[in-house]
């Protein structure tokens, strides 16, 4: 699964730690999400969508 997390985070000038705090996960998890090495659960995906104010399908796309 691909995602635009890094770009969305950069637009807001947030660090990985900033985003991690808002999502309630570790910074390493945010890094793993951004690099596509870890796919989030559905609840986390919804939380990410809520934080960025966008629908899930605009943040995550199929390979």
Partner 1 sequence: MSKKLASVLTRTVIGIAVFVVVVFAAGIAAGYLSARGTIASDQAVFWLVAVVSVSAMVGAMAISVAWMRSIDEAAREAHKAAWFWGGCGGMAVGGVLVILTSLPQAGTLSFPSWLDGRTDPAAYAATGAFAIMLLMLMGYAVVWAWWWITRMRD
**Interface with partner 1 by CB under 8 A: which residues?**
24-26, 28-29, 31-32, 37-38, 40-41, 44
3 vs 40 by CB, closer to partner 1: 40
| DSSP state for residue 61 in the 8-state scheme | E
4 vs 25 by CB, closer to partner 1: 25
11-18 contacts at long range (C-beta below 8 A, 24 or more positions apart): none
14 vs 38 by CB, closer to partner 1: 38
Determine which helix (DSSP H) or strand (DSSP E) holds 24, and give its type and residue range. none
Distance in Å, CB of 39 to partner 1, minimum: 10
The whole-angstrom separation of Cα 33 and Cα 16 is 10
């Amino acid at each position: 699964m691909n995602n635009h997390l890094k770009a969305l985070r950069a637009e807001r000038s947030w660090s990985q730690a900033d985003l991690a705090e808002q999502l309630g996960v570790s910074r390493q998890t945010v890094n793993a999400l951004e690099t596509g090495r870890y796919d989030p659960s559905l609840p986390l995906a919804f939380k990410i969508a809520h934080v960025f104010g966008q629908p899930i399908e605009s943040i995550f796309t199929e390979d």
